[in-house]
Amino acid sequence: MRVSTSKLVKVAVLGAAGGIGQNLALLLKGSPLVSQLSLYDVRGAVSVALDIDPVASPAKVLGFEKDELEDALLGAEVVLIPAGVPRKPGMTRDDLFNTNASIVRDLSAAVAKSSPKAIIGVISNPVNSTVPIVAETLKKAGVYDPRKLFGITTLDIVRARTYVAEALGASVFDIDVPVIGGHSGETIVPLLSRFRQLSEEQVKALTHRIQFGGDEVVKAKAGAGSATLSMAYAASEWTFSVIKALRGDRGLVEYTYVASDVQPPCGWFVSPVELGKDGVENILPFPELNEYETSLLENALKLLESSQQRGIDFVAKSS
Ligand code: NAD
Ligand code: LMR
């Protein structure tokens, strides 16, 4: 693919030496859409940058560590945040809050200072709470623009398409599955009623598998973390859509967790979002829900509200 170099985009990855960060960095380095890739981690980012540097692409790769965070963020147009600890078997994503909340708060305070106009994609869990943490931190710094802050929930879409295609014996390339709500267990609401071939039992089993697909990987990794490769793939797909929209391409839609008045009382909600030059261009309606999906959504909204409030309270109590 030939791309005008005047429209290439600078991307920073915070947490770049981790399981997601390294694989995401590699996928981004291979893209013709990226002009500069700044990799930051408390440790290990310089060696990752050196390692992927020879991959042929226009992207200049720079590694930053420790107190070099602000340098890493200078000029960044898209900032991706996979920094923080992953789950171990038996944990929920909410169990990560105590460790990851302050990591995400501190990183987003640096974004507010060094690249306040950047589009931010939050990967660190619990996404349902970490995104409000970033929002409140940016508000404190006076640079919050709700169009530019996203939770990356594309992995739920990636899983849903694959599992539904398998159940139908169809090609994954022919299957689109709306997944709304949030990114954690029962807050993940797949809308499967459009697949009329599926029995009620199949819909329930698939819904459960999409909601708890992350737990399957956590269990299989047996203490060594959670999904990294599929997440890096999902985050790269999300990032490429965002970059193309920044470059002026039209009609790019991603299901993603954004500030929303679509579903009060939730301030944040995964909807289909049309992307534009400033991030969120339009929050689109999702398909009509049947009775089963409505009950899933009602349950998800209660859980989402408390997770979001937890994030908001955390920043309010931070000095
Ligand atoms: P990991 O432990 O392999 O990597 C995390 C990296 O973050 C490490 O390299 C660590 O040094 C770095 N880090 C920690 N504190 C930092 C700081 N203050 N500044 C910069 N870097 C810092 O974990 P992982 O498997 O890559 O997962 C990362 C996060 O992504 C976890 O919270 C996990 O739950 C989450 N995750 C989210 C999704 C999603 O769908 N949104 C999917 C998978 C994993
Ligand atoms: C996932 O869905 O795989 C991630 O959120 C990681 C996890 O903790 O399951």
Residue pLDDT, tens place only, 121-141: 999 999 999 999 999 999 999
Mutate to test the pocket of ligand 1, among 14, 22, 41 (most ligand atoms within 8 A of CB): 41
Mutate to test the pocket of ligand 1, among 48, 85, 88, 216 (most ligand atoms within 8 A of CB): 85
36-83, pLDDT tens digit by residue?
Answer: 999 999 999 999 999 999 999 999 999 999 999 999 999 999 999 999
The residue extents of the domains of the chain are 9-152, 154-307
Angle value at C-alpha 267, between 264 and 272, nearest 5 degrees: 85
User: From CA 5, how far away is CA 296, in angstroms rounded?
Assistant: 46
Closest ligand 1 atom to 103 CA: 18
Determine if ligand 2 sits within 6 Å of the CB of residue 49: no
Contact between 235 and 26 (Cβ < 8 Å) = no
Return the pLDDT at 127: 98
Contact between 93 and 127 (Cβ < 8 Å) = yes
Q: Pull the structure tokens for residue 78.
A: 């898209």
**Burial annotation 217-229 (CB, 10 A radius, 16+ → b, else e):** bbeebeeebbbbe
Cα distances (angstroms) measured from residue 278 to each of 120, 148, 238, 248: 11, 7, 15, 10
9-152: what CATH class?
alpha beta
- The gap between the terminal CA atoms of the chain, to the nearest Å, is 48
User: From CA 153, how far away is CA 135, in angstroms rounded?
Assistant: 17
Map tokens 């919050």 to a residue.
144
Architecture of domain 154-307: Alpha-Beta Complex (3.90)
Beta-bridged to residue 275, according to DSSP, are 280
User: From CA 240, how far away is CA 205, in angstroms rounded?
Assistant: 32
Q: Quick check: 308 pLDDT over 90?
A: yes
Give the distance (Å) from ligand 1 centre to CA of residue 230: 14
pTM above 0.85, yes or no: yes
